[in-house]
Amino acid sequence: MIGKEIRSGSETTPKLNEEQLNILKEIVSANNDATLEEIRNELATSTGILICHSTVDRMLHRMEIRVKKTLHASEKETESLIPFTQEELIWLRWVL
């Protein structure tokens, strides 16, 4: 066959270069309890590159870096994470 070789799949260029990947590693090692969104925002601040949080996850996976966001005791009691007050929870338990 004469002409262009047809390849299956797609070839895309990496979203981050080697220097940016190193910055990503530094961000995660400095704060391995950060969410993907927090890592994404820090990467954007450090490099000026804004990528999707799923891309951050994919890049970390390729580098075999795992992050896990855990809630600390102080965060568990914040209003943004608990939709009901303690009195409302007691009332709900009584009613249900």
87 within some domain: no
d(CA 3, CA 68): 49
| Contact assessment for residue 17 and residue 52, using Cβ atoms and an 8 Å cutoff | no
Mean predicted confidence (pLDDT) in 40-44: 92
28 within some domain: yes
Find the domain containing 21 and state its range.
Answer: 15-70
Mean predicted confidence (pLDDT) in 10-24: 81
31 within some domain: yes
pTM over 0.75: no
Q: pLDDT (tens digit, 9 = 90+) per residue, 65-83? A: 887 665 554 554 555 555 6
41 within some domain: yes
34 within some domain: yes
Within 1-96, where are the H helices?
Answer: 18-30, 36-47, 53-62, 73-76, 86-95
43 within some domain: yes
What is the phi/psi pair of residue 42, to 5°? -65, -40
